[in-house]
Structure 1
Amino acid sequence: MSDENQENGTRNGQEVPEIELIIKASTIDGRRKGACLFCQEYFMDLYLLAELKTISLKVTTVDMQKPPPDFRTNFEATHPPILIDNGLAILENDKIERHIMKSVPGGYNLFVQDKEVATLIENLYSKLKLMLVKKDENKNNALLAHLRKINDHLAARGTRFLTGDTMCCFDCELMPRLQ
């Protein structure tokens, strides 16, 4: 595919839909991507699809300490992430995930069904928060044991990512929590 086609928003002569993701900006400078886990997760999901050229991704950061007037006018008290697809604003996390899976071209490929992996990663972030808040050796050990289970899972499967050799929704959920 030529760069000209991608710049014009086409793929093989087909129009590539533009998806806008509004995310929280960093509290440090108010411009770069912030530390919102959901914003980072959906950014990774959509960036993968943009890399595959199934969508054109536009990312807008919003400084929530001083949001622009048009943001408040359009979204009132809603906090990012906000996904905009063909003029439709999706404001809730579970609805964003469902929309990516069902309506965004290629999105269904990201959402692999794997109960073992879902169970494996589900409580990691809460264990990390407990370890940081409690500063307790038992909490630290619980987190380390959980991380070892994830590592053992990857070693046993022999794959680059949690469910195979390509990234999926579980990887996009886990990676922001590990940073």
Structure 2
Amino acid sequence: MSVGRVGVHHPTRAAVTAMGNNEKDAREPEIELFVKAGSDGESIGNCPFSQRLFMILWLKGVVFNVTTVDLKRKPPELQKLAPGTPPPFLTFNGDVRTDVNAIADFLEAQLTPPRYPSLAPKHEESNLAGNDIFAKFSAFIKNTKKEANDKLQAALLKAFQKLDLYLAEPLRGETPVQGAGGRPESQRPFLDGDELTLADCNLLPKLHIVTVVTRKYRGWEVPVNLRFVRRYLEAAASRDEFAHTCPAARELELAYAQVTPELT
């Protein structure tokens, strides 16, 4: 699959077509994903929910269009398409869908094997891995009091340590390797195994925000000793489905500049 800019349909919109085949198959559903635009009104903006759906569609290998929507100048036709609804939203064969969780479930139910891969995790616990990190990050990054900073940073670190432990523990049925002290360790690069799943599509966009913003505004990075988290992030960065759907670091920094206070 490749992603490329194919043209601007409207002064406030940019379109990208992603496809897994050289020619559009007549049996393919007509899908258009509308995502939040960046500061220039065209590039991908700060929105983990937009990236989540973008990743799902790309991983499915289905033909689809992505349109970035400038929230400052939302075109009238989009106001009619999804009145009062900020991106992301999606049209599937002309039907408009606006609930992110429902869209993810719908795509998994509609785009099924053998034509499209299943993205559902085989291990239910993978859906919960790292689910407290973003809340801890938000508390840490929006804090104004110096005396509370260390405590909030420690809470964020603890959430990352919990994720590291999950990634280190072999999954049921997985053949482990022998780690330090003879402890069995997982070899898997992603939450649920060797391939990206819906669980990764949910977590990775949030982790991207966390790592970029904490580095910029709090000088904090994922510690080197959390090697399974670091392996996970490196594995994700090597996959086009993640790397080419990420907003630029500058977009995240701009978005959080307004909500990240100086410590006093």
TM-score for the superposition, normalised by structure 1? 0.85
Deviation for aligned residue 1:147: 1.1
2:86 is equivalent to residue 57 of structure 1? no
CA distance in 2, matches of 1:131, 1:7: 46
The residue correspondences of 1:114-125 to structure 2 (distance < 5 A) are 114-125=123-134
SS in 1 for 2:64: strand
Deviation for aligned residue 1:169: 0.8
* Equivalent in 86, 96, 108 of residue 101 of structure 1: 108
CA distance in 2, matches of 1:89, 1:119: 28
Deviation for aligned residue 1:143: 0.9
Give the greater-gyration-radius structure (CA): 2
SS in 2 for 1:144: helix
CA distance in 1, matches of 2:22, 2:187: 38
Higher helix share: 1
Q: Which amino acid aligns with 2:109?
A: K
Over 3 Å counting, the alpha-carbon distance change for 1:172 and 1:122 in structure 2 is same
Deviation for aligned residue 1:69: 1.4
Deviation for aligned residue 1:81: 0.9
* Equivalent in 7, 16, 38 of residue 28 of structure 2: 16
RMSD value, Cα: 2.0
* Equivalent in 142, 149, 153 of residue 162 of structure 2: 149
Q: Which amino acid aligns with 1:177?
A: K
Report if aligned partners of 2:60, 2:117 keep a CA contact under 8 Å in 1. Answer: no
The residue correspondences of 1:59-138 to structure 2 (distance < 5 A) are 59-106=66-113, 109-134=118-143, 136-138=149-151
Deviation for aligned residue 1:113: 4.8
CA distance in 2, matches of 1:24, 1:41: 12
* Equivalent in 43, 59, 63 of residue 32 of structure 1: 43
Gaps of 5+ in 2: 1-19, 170-185, 209-264
Regions of 4+ moved over 3 Å: 105-108
Q: Aligned residue pairs: how many?
A: 167
Report if aligned partners of 1:19, 1:86 keep a CA contact under 8 Å in 2. Answer: yes
SS in 1 for 2:66: strand
For residue 174 of structure 1, what is the aligned residue in structure 2? Answer: 203
Deviation for aligned residue 1:108: 7.0
CA distance in 2, matches of 1:125, 1:149: 13
Q: Which amino acid aligns with 2:159?
A: H
CA distance in 1, matches of 2:199, 2:127: 7
CA distance in 2, matches of 1:108, 1:94: 19
- The percentage of counterpart residues that share the same residue type is 29
Over 3 Å counting, the alpha-carbon distance change for 1:62 and 1:101 in structure 2 is same
Over 3 Å counting, the alpha-carbon distance change for 1:175 and 1:148 in structure 2 is same
SS in 2 for 1:9: coil
Moved more, 126-135 or 108-117: 108-117
Gaps of 5+ in 1: none
Over 3 Å counting, the alpha-carbon distance change for 1:120 and 1:7 in structure 2 is closer
SS in 2 for 1:20: strand
